[in-house]
Amino acid sequence: MSGEVKQLMARVQVLEQKFDALSKTPLVEKKAAKKKAPVVTEEGVYQQALKTFRDGKYKEARKEFEAFLRRYPDSDLSDNAQFWIAESYYKEGLYEDAILAYESLIRKFPKSDKVPGAMLKQAYSFLELGDKNTTKVILSTLKERFPKSKEAELADKKLQALGKDAQQKKTP
């Protein structure tokens, strides 16, 4: 038995030497491991969607923002994501969808700093659809709710322009 033990000990020693040699040799997989996928963060996902929007890929950006909202429903950026979804519809001329998406922001995030912008663009969307009465109502409401906002100034200018249009049409 001692002969067998010596043989086993010799084999173990050879295997240990091979193991030591292999552990000192870098593996190809280690190089591949260094090329890790970027860490996906809430901010990173949002910024990527925003970049897509700014690149003019509105439909793709909308899908990215919708995925963001599904993944991070309670994010501090949720109202912004909803705004950009609405903007993507607006940019594509899909005004009815834009109106609904802006309304979603207004209802889900009533305290958001995006609400005045959403109301303004919602009014513009109604105007694009030829509904001047609803446009005027939304612009007036915007001025009442957010009188010191830049959007209220824009709403006032648009209301004045719409008033002038109406007066010019009445004058023969």
Reported as a single tens digit per residue, the pLDDT across 97-136 is 999 999 999 999 999 999 999 999 999 999 999 999 999 9
For the segment 143-170, the average pLDDT, to the nearest whole number, is: 86
- Return the minimum-mean-pLDDT range out of 33-47, 48-62, 68-82, 133-147: 33-47
Give dist(CA 54, CA 65) in Å, integer: 13
The interaxial angle of helices 150-170 and 132-145, nearest 10 deg, is: 150
Give dist(CA 52, CA 40) in Å, integer: 16
In this structure, what CATH number is given to the domain that contains residue 77? 1.25.40.10
pLDDT for the residue numbered 92: 98
2 lies in some domain: no
Is 49 within 8 Å of 57 (Cβ atoms)?
A: no
Is 85 within 8 Å of 101 (Cβ atoms)?
A: yes
46 lies in some domain: yes
Name, in order, each residue with C-beta under 8 angstroms of 140's C-beta and a sequence gap of 6 or more: 155, 159
pLDDT for the residue numbered 40: 82
For the segment 80-96, the average pLDDT, to the nearest whole number, is: 98
In angstroms, what is the C-alpha Rg of the chain? Answer: 31
pLDDT for the residue numbered 152: 97
> What is the phi/psi pair of residue 133, to 5°?
-65, -50
65 lies in some domain: yes
Reported as a single tens digit per residue, the pLDDT across 17-42 is 765 665 565 555 545 445 556 658 99
11 lies in some domain: no
113 lies in some domain: yes
133 lies in some domain: yes
How many domains does the chain contain in total?
Answer: 1
Mean per-residue pLDDT over the chain, rounded: 86
117 lies in some domain: yes
Is 52 within 8 Å of 66 (Cβ atoms)?
A: no
Domain that holds residue 79: 42-167
Pull the structure tokens for residue 121. 């663009």
Give dist(CA 145, CA 29) in Å, integer: 60
137 lies in some domain: yes
Give dist(CA 128, CA 23) in Å, integer: 69
